[in-house]
Every structure is written in C-alpha cells, then in structure tokens.
Amino acid sequence: MSRLLTQSRFANPDEAFVAIVDAHRDLAPEASAALDARLVLLLANHIGDIAVLKEALAAAREGLADSRAG
C-alpha cells in the first residue's frame, strides 16, 4: 500500500521545477548541497509521516549505484 503520492500535484509543474532549480542559481556546489539538505529537512518535517518519508527515500534511491553492494 503506497502512501507516497506520485501523481502530479502541482497546478503548474513547470513553475515548481523552475523554482527549485532557480533557488540554486549563483550558489557554489557546497552551498547548493546545503540548500538541498535544508530543503529536504523542511519538507520532510512538513510531511511529518515516517512511512511516507521512507517510501520517498526508497523511490529516490532506486537505480542509484550502491557502492556498498557487491
């Protein structure tokens, strides 16, 4: 049973995407990583549901090479 909503939810998806990318403009890679970390923490808390968070983490990790494997 999936609780993570993966259907499109924004009225204007392009605007949401651009807002995220724009927020990183002019940031050095380290600051950019810091922004992402803060954003993830803020949004995770907003969701406030550990099951949804774990599902999102699993979905985000899928397909990424796992250096620990093998």
Which amino acid is present at 5?
Answer: L
The CB-of-27 to another protein minimum distance in angstroms stands at 13
The CB-of-49 to another protein minimum distance in angstroms stands at 13
Binding to another protein in span 11-70, by CB under 8 A = 33-34, 37-38, 40-42, 45
The count of residues interacting with another protein (CB under 8 A) is: 8
Torsion angle of the four alpha carbons 13, 10, 59, 48, in this order, in degrees rounded to the nearest 10: 140
Q: Which of 16, 12, 4, 18 is nearest to 47 (CA)?
A: 4
Binding site for another protein (CB under 8 A): 33-34, 37-38, 40-42, 45
